[in-house]
Amino acid sequence: MANRTISMVLLILLAGVVAATTVTAQDDSYKPGYIDWEVNPVEQLFVEGMTETSAVLQRERPDQTEGGISLDPLFNGEIFTIQSQPVQTGFAQTVKMSVFFSVYLDDNVGPETCFRQQTTSLQLSDATTTLTYTVSLGGEQIYQESVTEIVDEITPGQAMNFSGAENEINITANPGDVFTLSLSAVHNCLGSSVMVQWGGGPEPQNSGGIIMIGTLYQPEMRMILDEANIAHIEFDPLMPWGASDIRDIKWEIWGPLKDFEKISLSNDNKLEDSTGKTLTVRELSDNQSIWTWSGKKVLTNGELNLQMCVRTVYGDLNSDCHAFGILRFEVTADDSGFLSAKIFLTLSALLALLAFVGNAFNQGLLIPIPILSALAVMMLLFVPTAFSQNNLGADAAIYDNTRVPNAELFDENDDTVTITDLFDGKDALIIGIGLPASENLIEQSNQFNETIDRYGDDVAVIHVLSGMEPMASDIVQMRQQLNTTWPILMDKNEQFASTLPDGVSDSVVIIDKAMHVTYSKTPVAYADDISEAIDDIPAGGPQNLGAYFALLVGPGLFLFFIALPREGWTPPDEPLPPGSLWASIIGAGAAGILLVNIPILIATILPLGTGLLFYLNYHDVVVR
């Protein structure tokens, strides 16, 4: 009994260990939305300048040209008070602060000069050198320390490091605040002057400035996927001194990854990087901007990493990254719905046939083999139609040759322009769709210029900014950047782009006079492809007759079987010409087709405006 009790206790403990391990494993997973930044916690402000009158307090590392001031014996006073640039992004943090400079003897004397004065006078004569550092932030003193040493180095490369004590302080910086550094000195050595130096590097004994150990910033990065699964990357440079703190930045996209993998160790999983990509600064307001990049590849489905490496102007030059960030995101496939149209409709047709045959059998009716064969053929002819239907619950399908609405677009003055207004008698309308500040808009513009050189006034060209809430400033910035001659418009609430085959994404779309899409490609279309699509418009473009004759294979033959006579042939009272019955059926059907389609066919031939054509076609569809 005791052994059984012990066994049960051990089993319960084992179950607890397994459960704890499971929880830990779940906590270690990296789900979409996971973000992590590893930031080098060493922040510095450097003193730069050849003399004390030209000295400045800057964020960027010095240019390795030493500056400084020579202090004569018995010097006692202030050397300088200098200020940094104003803080741009406020922060509140606990840091460990210290100030450092370097000092050496500069009168061609021996290294023991000041030391001998101190020792031979039985310490009655002070031969020390003292540097006093005072740091203020926003007008309030936050640090003050003094360093006293007997200088015994005689070369700049071996200068003594006068580092103040490292103090832990709480600092709060608001935008506009400046750091102020005051340096004063007392030099008591009678045998030699000393050189207080700064501005050198990378060795610390040749430079001077403020060191803060603590994390003062965390940048923000965002991944936006357009509807073509092309990456649009945003980076908000929330650095203490803004974008000027950044030396360079690069990003990479890796995947697909498992949820327990933080990063990928296989180079085969690198999908895209910033090499060859152009950084675009999107101005959101007078005092706010974000950095953007646009990808060119369609990303594969799965969980992916956006990995960003930031190098700062003040960081260690030998370090690859001073801030490394990871953002996990997911690329999902289009919603295929919760019920397959192919399976459901095919099974429905089969079950309907079996139910019909079963019901006839129960009633004692024997269906002739030819009729059963005809019913089976009708069911099979229905299958292609079932395969062309969208799944139940799936996203709405937009076909490649869809007809676009006469949507209203907006310029930078918030004036509206419709699609029909933009045609203005042209043969085709070339539309470049893009998210604001997308790099792909630049390449689109280059290809559009080549197209205009070929076709001149026969085609109209526009750019439309859609997605990411485009603003009037985006239009102004894009026009200044591209120097285009065609309209640049906004698609508010994505009402226009969402009706196009590629949706809200970087893409090129060509529309004919009948407002049908004749060509669409993401993210950029080359001028040769655009020209080929324009030349194909008179021949119908993608709307060829084959698509209509294909209806004969499925619904056409299905209707043909339905139209077959259900009763035996009865001789007419008066003789009729041979084939008159079939001819009347065909004639009646043709008359119905013409009655519905002839108005829009005639309107297409006539020199009518695009808006009227759109109106007639819309009402023609409603009638059908």
The two structure tokens encoding residue 202: 């990378």
E-assigned strands of 469-538? 488-491, 507-512, 517-521
**Measured torsion, CA atoms of residues 499, 504, 505, 506, in degrees rounded to the nearest 10:** 80
CB 56 within 8 A of CB 82: yes
Give the pLDDT confidence score for residue 337 in this predicted structure: 60
CB 447 within 8 A of CB 525: yes
- Mean pLDDT for the stretch of residues 169-184: 96
What element of type H or E holds 533?
helix 527-535
pLDDT digits (tens, 9 = 90+) for 257-294: 998 999 998 889 999 999 999 999 998 877 788 999 99
**In angstroms, what CA-CA distances link 239 with 217, 245, 288, 324, 580?**
6, 6, 13, 14, 86
Read off the pLDDT band of 545 (50, 70, 90).
low
The two structure tokens encoding residue 378: 């009708």
- Mean pLDDT for the stretch of residues 590-606: 68
Encoded amino acid at 509, one letter? V
Q: Which of 162, 265, 263, 264 is nearest to 206 (CA)?
A: 162
Percent of the chain with pLDDT over 90: 53
Check pLDDT > 90 for residue 64: no
Check pLDDT > 90 for residue 351: no
- Mean pLDDT for the stretch of residues 522-542: 84
At residue 21, the 3 state secondary structure works out as helix
- pTM (two decimals): 0.76
CB 429 within 8 A of CB 494: no
User: What percentage of the chain's residues is helix, strand, coil (to nearest 5)?
Assistant: 30, 30, 35
More confident residue, 252 or 379: 252
The average confidence (pLDDT) of the chain is 84
Check pLDDT > 90 for residue 166: yes
Check pLDDT > 80 for residue 193: yes
Peptide bond into 575 cis (omega under 30): no
